[in-house]
């Protein structure tokens, strides 16, 4: 950005006196070289400002010898009509050149702004696309997880149905033949010999047999993996209970000994971490 001194120097280099240059800048509210030049062209025939003349006279009174030695400094230069026209033509050419330079600078600035806007727009579009991709992946993963949980729940229900059928067959067989031994479809676990030891380590359970007592006195029994969460037991209960008290909402569990009501956070914990292994009795709160 040009300073006041730079603007004055530019105008004086064009042939204007410092007094007229300052007057032009004052009259144009210091808007720059081009505005001052237009004012000077419009007032080319105006006399020098009085301030400049007064200063010249004061200088002459203080130093009369200087006035005698340099008469050209105290007398204004009188231009012929041809010289005035030539000077005006030159000033007009300079004004047009300055305007052209300013317009080109503004045009270049607009081009750079547009390039920056396009670049920022592309960057913003890329960021939004990445966010959309991440959101779609998250939704797809959530749907896959829900589908897997639903499939596991269905498998547990089918297993329970088969277990109920087997239990009914055994009950019917026992009713018909009370002395017949109970035949279980589940093979007995193989017993591996272990070395004698003074203290036996705690067994590592992989499954837990959960008995669920409903408000009407009926029960549900199912075997779960110890790594499954308590919410899986709740889902199984809601899908299999048919007691009149069931209104479709998620049930709440508690134990009688020790007496405990499970919190919402505990439904996300595993049966193993809640110490509901190898078996447990859960009571559905009314």
**Is 262 among the domain residues?**
yes
Q: Quote the Cα angle for 167-172-178, to 5°.
A: 110
Phi, psi of 210 (to 5 degrees): -105, 125
**pLDDT tens sequence across 53-101:** 444 344 434 444 444 444 444 445 566 778 767 877 887 787 788 788 8
Q: Are strands 259-261 and 253-256 parallel, antiparallel or unpaired?
A: antiparallel
In a domain, 172, yes or no: no
How far is 125 from 119, CA to CA, in rounded Å? 10
| pLDDT for res 14 | 77
**How much is the pLDDT for 15?**
73
Contact of 219 with 211, CB cutoff 8 Å = yes
The model's pLDDT over 5-25, given as tens digits with 9 standing for 90+, comes to 877 888 777 777 888 888 888
Per-residue exposure over 130-159, b if at least 16 CB sit within 10 Å of its own CB, e if not: eeeeeeeeeeeeeeeeeeeeeeeeeebeee
Residues in the chain predicted with pLDDT less than 70, given as ranges, are 1-2, 50-79, 84, 179-202
Buried b (16+ CB within 10 A) or exposed e, 239-271: ebbeeeeeeeeebbbeeeeeeeebeeeebeebb
Q: What is the pLDDT of residue 77?
A: 53
Model pLDDT, residue 69? 44
Q: Is residue 94 part of a domain?
A: yes
- The parent domain of residue 85 ranges over 4-111
**Predicted local confidence at residue 1, as pLDDT:** 56
Residue 183 located in a structural domain: no
Examine residue 156 and state whether it is found in any structural domain, yes or no: no
Number of domains into which the chain is organized: 2
Q: Which of 53, 81, 111 is the last residue of a domain?
A: 111
Q: Where does a domain end: 91, 111, 131?
A: 111
User: What order of strands is seen across the sheet that includes strand 279-284?
Assistant: 219-225, 207-213, 279-284, 253-256, 259-261
Is 152 domain-assigned?
no
CB 175 within 8 A of CB 257: no
Give the pLDDT confidence score for residue 123 in this predicted structure.
87
Of 101, 108, 109, give the one whose Cα is nearest residue 10. 101
CA atoms of 132 and 139, how far apart (whole Å): 10
Residue 245, domain CATH: 3.10.20.90
pLDDT at 79: 60
Q: Is residue 75 part of a domain?
A: yes
> Where among 111, 133, 148 does a domain terminate?
111
Asked if residue 182 is part of any domain, the answer here is no
* CA–CA dist 72, 158 (Å, integer): 119
């Amino acid at each position: 950005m040009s300073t006041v001194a730079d603007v004055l120097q530019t105008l004086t280099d064009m042939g204007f006196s410092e007094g007229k240059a300052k007057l032009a800048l004052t009259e144009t509210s210091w808007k720059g070289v081009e505005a001052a030049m237009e004012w000077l062209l419009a007032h080319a025939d105006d006399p020098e400002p009085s301030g400049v003349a007064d200063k010249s006279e004061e200088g002459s009174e203080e130093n009369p010898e200087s006035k005698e030695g340099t008469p050209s400094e105290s007398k204004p230069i009188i231009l012929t009509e041809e010289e005035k026209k030539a000077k005006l033509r030159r000033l007009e050419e300079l004004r047009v050149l300055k305007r052209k330079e300013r317009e080109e600078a503004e045009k270049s600035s607009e081009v750079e702004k547009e390039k920056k806007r396009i670049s920022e727009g592309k960057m913003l579009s890329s960021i939004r696309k990445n966010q959309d991709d991440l959101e779609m992946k998250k939704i797809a993963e959530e749907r896959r997880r829900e589908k897997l949980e639903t499939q596991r729940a269905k498998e547990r229900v089918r297993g329970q149905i088969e277990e109920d059928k087997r239990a009914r067959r055994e009950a019917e067989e026992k009713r018909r033949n009370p002395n017949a031994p109970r035949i279980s479809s589940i093979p007995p676990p193989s017993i591996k010999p272990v070395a004698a030891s003074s203290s036996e380590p705690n067994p590592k359970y992989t499954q837990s047999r959960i008995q669920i007592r409903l408000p009407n006195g009926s029960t549900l029994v199912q075997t779960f993996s110890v790594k499954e969460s308590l919410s899986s037991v709740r889902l199984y209960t809601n899908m299999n209970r048919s007691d009149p008290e069931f209104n479709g909402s998620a049930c709440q569990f508690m134990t009688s000994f020790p007496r405990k009501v499970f919190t919402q956070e505990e439904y996300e914990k595993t049966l193993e971490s809640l110490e509901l292994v190898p078996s447990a009795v859960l009571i559905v709160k009314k």
